[in-house]
Amino acid sequence: MNDPLPRALYSASQVRDLDARLIAAGTPGIELMHRAAHAAWRALRRRWPEAAEITVLAGHGNNAGDGYLMAVLARKAGWQVKVLAVGEPTALRADAALALAEARAAAVDIEPWSETAPLQGVLVDALLGTGARGEVREPYASAIAAINASGQPVLAVDLPSGLCADTGRVLGAAVRADLCVTFIGLKLGLLTGEGPALTGELVFDGLQASAEILAQVPSSAQRLADEQLPRLAPRSRTAHKGSFGQVLVIGGDLGTGGAALLASEAALRSGAGMVSLATRPEHVVASLVRQPEVMCSGVESTYGLGALIERADVLVIGPGLGQAPWGRSLLSITGQCEMPQVWDADALNLLATGAVELPPRCVITPHPGEAARLLGCSTAEVQADRPAAVRALAERYRCVALLKGAGTLIADAEGRLALCDRGHPAMATAGLGDVLSGLIGALLAQHLDLFEAACLAAWLHARAGERMGSLGRGLCASELIPAIRQILEEQSPCLK
């Protein structure tokens, strides 16, 4: 599978550090600016080969310098070119001022921005880039609004203006781009929060930064990429069901029995040696009809659950559990167990109340609302800084935390952070989290560690969503399960 983006993800300050190190190593800043302009110009022509006109909206930082040099390239190619200076050109300094001088020498038409200025051709957003601080102010907010209302194709230079490079938060207003060309280091905020909705097609150009320079600045996170994902070992021809663990799924209160059935089926189809289900007695028949391979036990209370737990290697608790006395009592027992566990859904909501404590060796899989309850803040605060939220969850609960949503994030208590940028909008439907929890349980049963299992599960789940989501809206969670099985076999073949 072709994946043109790098694995390392950086903050804005880290990319500025890399930029400074490139310059210190002998590459002039204006040369880097020329490389950026050429990269963006190439991407523009590939995306819109029939275009013959651009309007560059330029701010007053290095991002504006890239825009002025793009205008020079378009002018030399015979295109209709106009630069609308939203930032005062006289405020440009250093390399950006040199870029402005080149544009003037090439007779590029440069005019002051006004709300009545026509926006024609491909619009080049060279307003703010990674230099934005705080909420976007005027006149930039009006310029961004005009870009978004224009109906014209939009290329963002380095990052859509108004998008926080570190968190994916919108700083009051942000450009909605069709194409974004980003440089040197891939910014974390492009791939999580609101980043995926604003970036459009993402193109990366390293500006010829050497591996030696990149190695000098540790990245803040790693993007999950096929060639570097954890893999399950091939199975011996003498393997048996006991070699790959028994997953016990606990959940499915009255009215929500399907969630536990989805988690159980996902665990079975993802390679667990055996799968048991502890659920309401009313759901036993449905489980036997749906998936007779799952060993389903009806439990009225904690009586009898202990024996099921003793036989299990991994617990998955929460899908359809509810917060009534039945679910609370079952959760209270698992909180005292030491085997690897996956906590999801109402297990997390009960954890947030303080009614139970999270045992060691756990993966938690909250959506933003559940994460907010676990952290004692609002959902908006979680979404405003998803990387900080998932790190806080991992540290507070000493676990592996998987924060669901666009740009799913996985963190552990040791400081590792991974991001999954795959997925499909058709996945916005109920039940997919139950499938994910069962999948993680199966990978744990097959001897991956907590962080590896969470990372591989997030990627498999998202890739299955892409495959099935390509058929359109109306995706059912159960449809992901056979796709996950197929993709897992492609990624980690059962036999050598």
Q: Which residues are annotated as a binding site for AMP?
A: 404-408, 433
| Residue 476: CA count within 13 A, CB half-sphere | 6
Sign of the four-CA dihedral 232, 220, 223, 363: positive
CA trace torsion 342, 347, 352, 356 (10° rounding): -90
Show binding-site residues: 63, 125, 129-135, 140, 158, 161, 259, 320, 367, 404-408, 433-434
CB atoms within 10 A of CB 249: 35
Q: For residues 487 and 67, give the distance between their C-alpha atoms in angstroms, rounded to a whole number.
A: 42
Q: Are 391 and 418 in contact (CB under 8 A)?
A: no
Burial category of 314 from C-beta neighbours within 10 Å (exposed 0-12, middle 13-18, buried 19 and up):
buried
Q: Are 179 and 190 in contact (CB under 8 A)?
A: no
Binding site residue list for (6S)-NADPHX: 129-135, 140, 158, 259, 320, 367, 434
DSSP string, 88-157: -GGG--HHHHHHHHHHHHTT-EEEE--TTS---SEEEEES-GGG--SS--TTHHHHHHHHHHS-S-EEEE
Give all strands of the β-sheet with 122-126 in edge-to-edge order.
109-112, 80-85, 53-58, 122-126, 154-157, 179-183, 201-205
Residues belonging to the binding site for K(+) are 63, 125, 161
Nearest residue to 221 (alpha-carbon basis) of 353, 411, 393: 411
What is the DSSP code string of 198-248? HH-EEEEE-TT--HHHHTTS--SEEE--GGGS--PPPPPTT--GGGG-EEE
